[in-house]
Structure 1
Amino acid sequence: MFRFFKLKKWFLWSWFGSFIILSSLWVQVKIDVKINEWFGKFYDMIQKALSKPNSITMQEYWDSLFSFISLAGLYVSVYVIMIFFTAHYLFRWRTAMVEWYHSVYEKASKIEGAAQRVQEDTIKFSRIMESLGTSLIESIMVLIQFIPILLGLSVGIPIYFFGDWQYGLITGAMLWTIGGTIFLIVLGWILRLVGIEYDLQKKEAAYRKLLVIAEDDNTVRPKNIEELFEDVRSIHFFSFIRYLYFNIGRMAYMQANVLSAYVFLAPAIVAGVVTLGVMQQIIRAFGRVEGSMQYLLRAWPTIIELASVYRRLREFENKILDN
């Protein structure tokens, strides 16, 4: 799966392409920081205008909106270009994978589900990496940029439970996020979600293989197909129940998460020691930090799918090498 980074043929795409993607993500995060600063200034201006009529001019108001449009336009431009580039980058990664599978396909074709591994799983792997990989890197960069901002904004502001402690907001975000992440990891482990996804794909592969054989082999009876589909139905229904339990826990936590920043800021808001602009900056920065810390939480279903795909492809490659 990772020959893409080892072969000289793909050196430029794998390493230089990775550098371009990382650089673009860093630029996007820096623009996001500027947007966060804009929110503070804009809402302070709104508070000033609402508290005292005609305290700002129409030109100041339009200039502020235009500055946001400029930042947003730059962000969108970088984002769209990099989505395009990343799609090409990951297709090259997939190409490196399938080229090796093609070179050993005489041995690989004897393995059950070989066609699905080479075609379907490589597509899944590249698509999941497109969303999951870039999100992980972006989350790390967001933490690097926004944690100092949040620390600076929270100086001298009373935080629920932590009082005037400078690190109260960061600590609160970490405790809330880590607690929720551990809860969902344990829940996913108890429900054996990765194993269920793996079993589901194996049942589907066996069912598909029999259907393909039945196209050319008249000896395959409908009863055989029905028996296999019954296995498919059973594992799907079983997964539905397990994911129902998991999603109850996941969505309950995510909904409670909406109020977390306001809970921690309650003493400061009630005491009126923050302006509307500063509050917006804090809440947005808190949300960005918290959201990045919750990467595993938000991406957990996709991580489970990636783990299942990785497991199948690794097992497939090991069987090829053993033959």
Structure 2
Amino acid sequence: MFVSFFPKPKLFFLSAAGWSLFLILLWFFGGEQMGALIGLPPAAPGTPPIIGIAVLVSKPFLWFYIYYVLGVAIFYAFWRWYAPHPWQNWSILVSSVIFFLIYFNVQISVAVNNWYGPFMDYVQGLMASTTNSTASEFYKGAASFAWLALVGMNVSVINAFIVSHWIFRWRTAMNDYFMNYWGRLRHIEGASQRIQEDTMRFSQIMEDLGTSFVQSIMTLIAFLPVLIALQKHITELPIIGAVPQPLVVAALAWCLFGTLSVMLAGIKLPGLQFRNQRVEAAYRKELVYGEDHDDRAQPATTAELFENVRRNYFRLYGHYIYFNVVRYTYLQADNIFSFIILGPSLVAHKITFGPLNQISNAFGRVTGSLQFLLNSWSTIVELQSVHKRLRAFEATLEGAPLPEIDQHYLERKRAVLEPKEQVG
């Protein structure tokens, strides 16, 4: 699944994580200041943030773009020398483009959050008749948001286009790899479906989870300092009272509670999803045989196979009831949680409309990034079931034992074929 697209996968992913961590630490411990050597210094301490689209082409941002390109170039050059791979342009270079576009959109979100404060205070002043303004000034402030939204939308469209091609390239790599060993793999139950469908699903799900995870990390890195800076407006939390870093403590505790709740509620879903794919494949395979052989797909056989499908689906529906109750209850509560923790400060008149919007947005971004497992649990369940099906291919090529459920299938298949061979 991975060796077809990535060079030496285990070492590759470890080195990618290690190199990324090194670059992040280097940036925060001196790398950001290195831009001054080429005339791109960081913003001076205490400098107000640039409001609007101009922040994306400011000197600190331009230096980060150069820094990112250099980091990717060094990583790519090493792997091109150490372990050349036919798909490394897509698995390294195009992946780095996707990650950069994700980062770029996160920074647009930060810029929008910075726009909220002064503009919403300006709106509050207009509503309270304490601020004098003109229509042109109002539309100029609104245009700052419009430009950010327009750029963010187009970057998302471009990224979606690139991601679609990236996914199909990975599917192509897996397809070519497994088809080279088709003679050894074709006896596995549902082998045709696993190559034709599961390779696409696996690459698509991995991309979805991978980009979601990277976006969560980038969002957390970008918005956590924003949330910490906004804590000056918050004095205490409901029930708990005054604590250090109140917004960070509230975000961590709330996300940990939600993630553990959803994981416990959905612990049985991966096995059921995998069994669901197996019984569907068995039913479909019998129908395919029935297209060419009169003695196959007989009513008694298809009725039994479809009964297996029905039984597994009904079990899956039953388990999803309590899983969805837990998940949606938490997500609904999450919509108002930030207002609940801001209650004491609102009542005490210690927060205005602008910071209220900034805190709510930043808090939502931080909690959203910390809720990666919670928001992705259904996708993770599907990935586990697809991985188990493709893992049978890898086990066969490695000479390792098949997954238990595939062993059971082969045993039943032998039990059916042996009597026929004896009769013959």
Calculate the TM-score normalised by the size of structure 1: 0.96
Does 2:112 correspond to 1:11? no
- Residue 2 of structure 1 is matched in structure 2 by 2
- Residue 184 of structure 2 is matched in structure 1 by 107
Name the CA distance, whole Å, in 2 between partners of 1:86 and 1:310: 21
1:255 to 332, 336, 341: 332
Name the CA distance, whole Å, in 2 between partners of 1:105 and 1:218: 27
Q: What is the deviation of 1:317?
A: 2.1
User: Which moved further from structure 2: 169-178 or 45-54?
Assistant: 45-54
Does 2:352 correspond to 1:275? yes
Q: What is the deviation of 1:233?
A: 0.6
Name the CA distance, whole Å, in 2 between partners of 1:254 and 1:316: 38
CA pair 99-316 structure 1, distance change in 2 beyond 3 A: same
User: CA offsets, 1:3-49, max 9 Å, x none?
Assistant: 20126110111111111111111111111100011111211110011
- Residue 296 of structure 1 is matched in structure 2 by 373
Q: Secondary structure at the match of 2:294?
A: coil
Q: What is the deviation of 1:250?
A: 0.8
Calculate the TM-score normalised by the size of structure 2: 0.73
- Residue 257 of structure 2 is matched in structure 1 by 179
Gaps of 5+ in 1: none
- Residue 139 of structure 1 is matched in structure 2 by 216
2:289 to 213, 226, 229: 213
Name the CA distance, whole Å, in 2 between partners of 1:322 and 1:223: 37
CA pair 176-54 structure 1, distance change in 2 beyond 3 A: closer
Name the CA distance, whole Å, in 1 between partners of 2:215 and 2:131: 41
Name the CA distance, whole Å, in 2 between partners of 1:285 and 1:249: 25
- Residue 193 of structure 2 is matched in structure 1 by 116
Q: What is the deviation of 1:158?
A: 1.8
Name the CA distance, whole Å, in 2 between partners of 1:272 and 1:79: 39
User: Which moved further from structure 2: 145-154 or 101-110?
Assistant: 101-110
Contact persistence 1:210–1:225 (CA under 8 A) = yes
Q: What is the deviation of 1:159?
A: 2.9
Contact persistence 1:87–1:130 (CA under 8 A) = no
Does 2:217 correspond to 1:155? no
Return the structure number with greater relative CO, CA threshold 8 A, min gap 6.
Answer: 1
- Residue 34 of structure 1 is matched in structure 2 by 111
Name the CA distance, whole Å, in 2 between partners of 1:165 and 1:288: 21
Name the CA distance, whole Å, in 2 between partners of 1:270 and 1:90: 51
Name the CA distance, whole Å, in 2 between partners of 1:59 and 1:181: 46
Name the CA distance, whole Å, in 2 between partners of 1:320 and 1:108: 8
Name the CA distance, whole Å, in 1 between partners of 2:192 and 2:234: 60
One-letter amino acid matched to 2:263: I
Q: How many residues get paired?
A: 321
Contact persistence 1:45–1:56 (CA under 8 A) = no
One-letter amino acid matched to 1:160: L
Name the CA distance, whole Å, in 1 between partners of 2:120 and 2:187: 65
**Looking at CA atoms only, which structure, 1 or 2, has the larger radius of gyration?**
2
Name the CA distance, whole Å, in 2 between partners of 1:315 and 1:243: 27
Q: CA RMSD in A?
A: 1.4
Name the CA distance, whole Å, in 2 between partners of 1:53 and 1:158: 27
Q: Any residues of structure 2 matched to 1:78-89 within 5 Å, and which?
A: 78-89=155-166
Q: What is the deviation of 1:51?
A: 1.0
Over the matched positions of the two proteins, sequence identity in percent amounts to 41
Gaps of 5+ in 2: 8-83, 401-424
- Residue 309 of structure 2 is matched in structure 1 by 232
- Residue 61 of structure 1 is matched in structure 2 by 138
One-letter amino acid matched to 2:161: F
User: Which moved further from structure 2: 121-130 or 18-27?
Assistant: 121-130
Does 2:280 correspond to 1:204? yes
Contact persistence 2:237–2:243 (CA under 8 A) = no
Higher helix share: 1
User: CA offsets, 1:195-229, max 9 Å, x none?
Assistant: 11111111111111111111111112221111111
CA pair 49-164 structure 1, distance change in 2 beyond 3 A: farther
Q: What is the deviation of 1:54?
A: 5.9
Q: Any residues of structure 2 matched to 1:68-79 within 5 Å, and which?
A: 68-79=145-156
Does 2:364 correspond to 1:264? no
1:43 to 98, 113, 120: 120
One-letter amino acid matched to 1:80: V
